[in-house]
Amino acid sequence: MVFSIGRKQRSNSSVMSKLPFAKFLGPIACLGAVATGIILAVSGRLELSSLDLFRGSSQVSSTGVATATATPVKLNLGQKSQTNIRIATFSVQDFGRQKAADTNVMRVLTHVVSQFDVVAVQQIQGGDPAPIEALVNLLRNSGVSYTATISEPIGEGSQSESYAYLWDDTRIQLVPNSAYVVQDTANRMHREPMVASFETRVGTADGRRPFRFTLINAHASPAEASTNGAEMNVLDDVYVRVRQYDYQMNGEEDCILLGNLNIDTEGLRELGQIPGVQSIAGDAKTNTLGNETHDHIIIDTRMTREYSGRFGVLSLVDQLGLTQEQALQVSDHQPVWGEFSIYEVPNFDAIGNQASANQASAAP
């Protein structure tokens, strides 16, 4: 099944939610969050123009940008962990009907997607759901159960494209009414990000809850990213506000921004300067030619302690045995992935409270 997500309500849209954001500052933050929820139900919009409060005010680390220091690992193809999930981003170059009609390309894409539990996809041409529908059908015909959600076309003219998420629905579920496209009435970005929240399909075990997380799927303009970095300085606002909203409304602190940012870690600007935030793959080469960094999975390591420390770039040549020419027919990008626990890691307050409770129960 493929769900369509757009800015405006459509009769064929199965999942729909656009979140407006209040300015969560000061002692009225909780009241503001409640008011925001009411506005959400009425207007169904998220306004990017209100997300500029942190511009120029981010704290800068000593190195300017936080990056991963671990070494990428190779993926064990065909094996999914019982204790962890894999979240990936894949910028599938010019993914339209022509590419979807190429059986060799689609065979590779089916194999790639089936290695991961959730995949954020960029560069779907013109908002046409047909390529994603074809990919979901191939996945299901191969014996794995995947579902997808796709956005409406975003951007102008030749820059117009859609985002999508695909997930293994035996292991992951989409949080109802959580998918939306950010609204950018001030036209500060070429393509507004697509947001959605997911949760692992596991029961509560020893008091541990399923891992719930919010993904922000982004594709930055190459020109903007390589010149003034303006879009990175907007994405930091998006990241902060999406996370604030989720925490105020749902107590959710796990926010992951991923996608094709067309820049290395040095170019992340204000996005890379948010305290605790890092690109888990750092400056690993993510293009198919193996000489440039474009794609990132960005987390706040203080909050998302479900991250296992394992990440990698799936090489279409080295790991799938394609020639470079064959790999480039699939995409000029390669999938980047990170591994996370299937269970929530309790926050520090919860741990402290539990310890106090244990001590109290043990007291005579």
Q: What confidence score (pLDDT) does residue 186 get? A: 87
Question: Which tokens is 228 given?
Answer: 């003034």
Q: What confidence score (pLDDT) does residue 245 get? A: 87
Residue pLDDT, tens place only, 279-295: 999 999 999 999 999 99
Q: What confidence score (pLDDT) does residue 70 get? A: 59
The structural architecture, per CATH, of the domain 84-346 is: 4-Layer Sandwich (3.60)
Q: For residues 100 and 106, is the Cβ–Cβ distance under 8 A?
A: yes
Q: What confidence score (pLDDT) does residue 188 get? A: 87
Which of 340, 337, 325 minimizes the C-alpha distance to 77? Answer: 337
* Extents of the domains making up the chain: 2-45, 84-346
Q: What is the 3-state secondary structure (H, E, C) of the chain?
A: CEEEECCCCCCCCCCCCCCCCCCCCHHHHHHHHHHHHHHHHHHCCCEHHHCCCCCCCCCCCCCCCCECCCCCCCCCCCCCCCCEEEEEEEEEEEECHHHHCCHHHHHHHHHHHCCCCEEEEEEEECCCCHHHHHHHHHHHHCCCCEEEEEECCECCHHHCEEEEEEEECCCEEECCCCCEECECCCCCCCCCCEEEEEEECCCCECCECECEEEEEEEECCHHHHHCCCHHHHHHHHHHHHHHHHHHHHHCCCCEEEEEECCCCHHHHHHHHCCCCEEECCCCCCCECCCCCCCEEEEEECCCCCCEEEEEEECCCCCCCCCCHHHHHHHCCECCEEEEEECECCCCHHHHHHHHHHHHHHHCC
Distance in angstroms (rounded) separating the CA atoms of residues 100 and 261: 24
**183: β partners:** 47
Distance in angstroms (rounded) separating the CA atoms of residues 232 and 104: 35
Q: What confidence score (pLDDT) does residue 320 get? A: 95
- Angle subtended by helix axes 103-113 and 130-141, to nearest 10: 70
- Angle subtended by helix axes 230-250 and 29-43, to nearest 10: 100
Q: What confidence score (pLDDT) does residue 225 get? A: 60
Q: What confidence score (pLDDT) does residue 3 get? A: 66
Render each residue's pLDDT in the chain as its tens digit; 364 residues: 676 665 433 323 332 233 333 222 233 333 343 344 433 333 334 444 443 322 222 222 233 344 444 568 888 888 899 999 999 999 999 999 999 999 999 999 999 999 999 999 999 997 789 999 999 999 999 999 999 999 999 987 767 899 999 999 999 999 999 999 998 888 888 899 999 999 999 977 788 899 999 999 999 988 766 666 688 989 999 999 999 988 888 888 999 999 999 999 999 999 999 999 999 999 999 999 999 999 999 999 999 999 999 999 999 999 999 999 999 999 999 999 999 999 999 765 443 444 344 444 444 4
Residue pLDDT, tens place only, 67-107: 444 568 888 888 899 999 999 999 999 999 999 999 999 99
